[in-house]
Amino acid sequence: MRVRFWGTRGSIPVSLTWRDLRDRVAQALVAANGRSLDTLERAYAFVEGHLPFSIAGTYGGHSPCVELDTGGASYFVCDMGSGARPFGAHVMARQAGAPARINVFMSHLHWDHMMGFPFFVPAWTPGTTLRIHGCHANLEAAFVRQQEPPGFPVGFSRLGAEFEFVQLEPGRPIEVDGVRVTAKHQLHGGDSFGYRFETGGRSIIYSTDSEHKLEDATETHDFVAFFRDADLVVFDSMYSLAEAVSVKEDWGHSSNMVGVELCQMAGVKHLVLFHHEPAYDDAAIDRVLAETRRFEELTREGSPLRVSSAFDGLEIAL
């Protein structure tokens, strides 16, 4: 099993500015002072071995799209944010003209989680089979409406793929191409749903756009049970804990610290921070990751919880 992140930002896509790039180049030049970097090989080795990720790389700017590669013939993907465009290019290159079968699981129908769909090339390609799963009653209507005038110039009916919209019931597991999938209701405006995927003895949780109120013992117990012993949890950590319990309370998102607490209680092996605040630059996300890892160390009682921060292009093998 392999998890690929094609889009990791929340609310709206973002990109590096020319000032961001200029500052990174300047910082890299200062760090390289006195070194002999007269070949690309030496330069790459310096970048990879001596520069922090916030200078040498980027967390990226696409909105949510996460692929679960089960090793089977069909594709699994969570959400169709702007990251769906590069994911679609990946599918087309991998298929090399052969028809694709793609299972989409929608957390909810807010624009940042489906805005990439009109630019998802497999949807325009005859021979593609697209099964779009979700718990919202208006699932199909939302996809059709997104491509109606004046919002988009080409209607949904012009798409070339074969479509099936699958209504899921939270808490009721289903089998999809050899994968056991269970949806769970989450606290978010207009409702959202997390997913637990189980196959080959591995379990992955995709839980974004969910606000957790740990003082609610029943809700906490339910999520701990949902996360129980998962190999990987992709978790909405958009806000700091201070924001989540004050000025942004009831905005429908969670924090990095709450993610650690829930995962520790559930015996999760690996927590991946996700749905990054679009106002945060790479250095800010680096700081969040460092703070989260330190918090995990201070609160650890059992086995260590691995903590990572998702970025566009990250791959995690399980």
pLDDT in tens, 1-52: 999 999 999 999 999 999 999 999 999 999 999 999 999 999 999 999 999 9
pTM over 0.85? The answer is: yes
| Cα first-last separation, the chain | 5
- Predicted local distance difference test score (pLDDT) of residue 69: 96
Cα separation, 60 vs 310, in Å, equals 9
Record the tokens describing residue 8, joined without a space.
């990791």
- Predicted local distance difference test score (pLDDT) of residue 242: 62
- Predicted local distance difference test score (pLDDT) of residue 74: 96
Residue 245 has pLDDT above 60, yes or no: no
Cβ atoms of 261 and 235 within 8 Å: the answer is no
- Please tell me the number of Cα atoms within 13 Å of 200 on its side-chain side: 11
Cα separation, 132 vs 183, in Å, equals 14
Cα separation, 101 vs 125, in Å, equals 11
Q: Look at 42 and 213; give whichever has higher pLDDT.
A: 42
Give one word for 209, left, alpha or beta, with left for phi > 0 and alpha for psi -120 to 50.
Answer: left
Report H helices in the chain: 18-31, 40-50, 53-56, 84-95, 139-146, 217-227, 241-244, 256-266, 282-299
Least confident range of 39-48, 161-170, 235-244: 235-244
Cβ atoms of 268 and 229 within 8 Å: the answer is yes
CATH number for the domain running over 2-15+58-317:
3.60.15.10
- Nearby residues of 228 by Cβ (< 8 Å), 6 or more positions away: 266, 267
- Within 10 angstroms of residue 96's Cβ, the number of other Cβ atoms is 6
- Predicted local distance difference test score (pLDDT) of residue 246: 56
Dihedral sign (CA 71, 317, 5, 132): positive
Residue 247 has pLDDT above 60, yes or no: no
Cβ atoms of 122 and 92 within 8 Å: the answer is yes
Cβ atoms of 316 and 231 within 8 Å: the answer is no
Record the tokens describing residue 305, joined without a space.
């919880």
Report H helices in 150-233: 217-227
Q: Which of 271, 256, 274 is nearest to 311 (CA)?
A: 274
215-220 contacts, C-beta under 8 A, 24 or more apart:
219/187, 220/262, 220/265
Q: Where in the chain is the domain with CATH 3.60.15.10?
A: 2-15+58-317
Cα separation, 312 vs 272, in Å, equals 13
Query: What Rg do the C-alpha atoms of the chain give, in angstroms?
Result: 20
Averaged confidence pLDDT in the chain: 94
- Predicted local distance difference test score (pLDDT) of residue 241: 62
The full DSSP string for 204-228 is EEEE-S----TT-HHHHHHHHHHHT
Residue 103 has pLDDT above 90, yes or no: yes
